[in-house]
Amino acid sequence: MDITKITEKSDAFAGKLESLKSELAPQDYGWYPYGTLSNFHHMGRLLTGSNRRLLDLIGSAPVADIGAADGDSAFFLESLGYDAHVVDYAPTNFNSCRGVRLLKEALESKVTIHEVDLDAQFDLPGENYGLALFMGILYHLKNPYSALESLARNARHAVISTRISRFNTASGSLGNAGVNRERVELQSIPCAYLVAPTETNNDPTNYWIFSEAGLRRILDRTGWSVLDFMTVGNTADSDPASNQGDERAFCLVKSRHF
């Protein structure tokens, strides 16, 4: 099945989920506010050649949706006939994983939910996943090298997205106290920028914003081969902190351990 058809099916499933969420309407917490199934639209632009038949990469192995929010992608892949696992951690999940558990009950789903502190010790609960969705998680981890290395030992393929940056600071916004005194181009330097606790979205769970060269380097060093790669957002003047400077990388990667 081509990614175009998968995306059409994900849109239809997203509509059903939104209706179900409105019907359930929990009173003491909210649903994750961003539609994670929209990532399949990005995959439609990302994937090329035979990789566009994304589901063929899974085979008969299970799928891991890591940092799954309310588990929308896992439930969608289950609806296509796959054994799907949610891997998340209540203390850092938007609604403490109550959303994904409520949806599982309402859908009478068999999706397996694993609560794993990915920052303390990145150990996936299963082995030999055919595909891992690792979307928007990397820059929230203190130890991205260890996480990617462990993921490569447990998943044959992964779709990864993360924020990246071409400059160390927004145009016209220099720092003080000796930090960011000059605006420096980072894109071609294999590095990661460590943000201050409130520098990015006033969110202290943001840590490392890679340059494109840095992301490609760490993927290679942790056992991954890049099959497809693209960036979206501010692809000319991105920075690690401002909303207008937001650039995201999306890539399909294959583990060299299999």
**pLDDT, tens digit, 9 for 90 and up, residues 151-204:** 999 999 999 999 999 999 998 777 666 788 889 999 999 999 999 999 998 999
Would you give per-residue pLDDT tens digits along the chain (258 residues)?
A: 999 999 999 999 999 999 999 999 999 999 999 889 999 999 999 999 999 999 999 999 999 999 999 999 999 999 999 999 999 999 989 999 999 999 999 999 999 999 988 888 777 776 789 999 999 999 999 999 999 999 999 999 999 999 999 999 998 777 666 788 889 999 999 999 999 999 998 999 999 999 999 999 999 999 999 999 999 999 999 999 999 999 999 999 999 999
* pTM strictly above 0.85: yes
Q: What CATH number has the domain bearing residue 73?
A: 3.40.50.150
SS (H, E, C) 51-103: HHCHHHHCCCCCEEEECCCCCHHHHHHHHCCCCEEEEECCCCCCCCCHHHHHH
Q: Tokens 């995306």 label which residue?
A: 7
At 176 the pLDDT is 65
Q: Is residue 191 classed as helix, strand or coil in its secondary structure?
A: coil
| CA–CA gap between residue 155 and residue 255 (Å, rounded) | 7
Number of domains into which the chain is organized: 1
Q: Is residue 219 classed as helix, strand or coil in its secondary structure?
A: helix
| CA–CA gap between residue 91 and residue 125 (Å, rounded) | 18
At 173 the pLDDT is 78
How far is the CA of 85 from the CAs of 80, 113, 116, 162, in angstroms? 14, 6, 12, 21
| CA–CA gap between residue 240 and residue 237 (Å, rounded) | 10
| CA–CA gap between residue 239 and residue 165 (Å, rounded) | 5
Q: How many helices (H) and strands (E) does the chain have?
A: 6, 9
At 145 the pLDDT is 95
Which range marks the domain in which residue 248 is found? 3-255
Write out the H or E segment, with its range, that includes residue 156.
strand 155-164
Phi, psi for 216 (deg, rounded to 5): -65, -40
Cross-strand bridge partners of residue 65: 86, 133
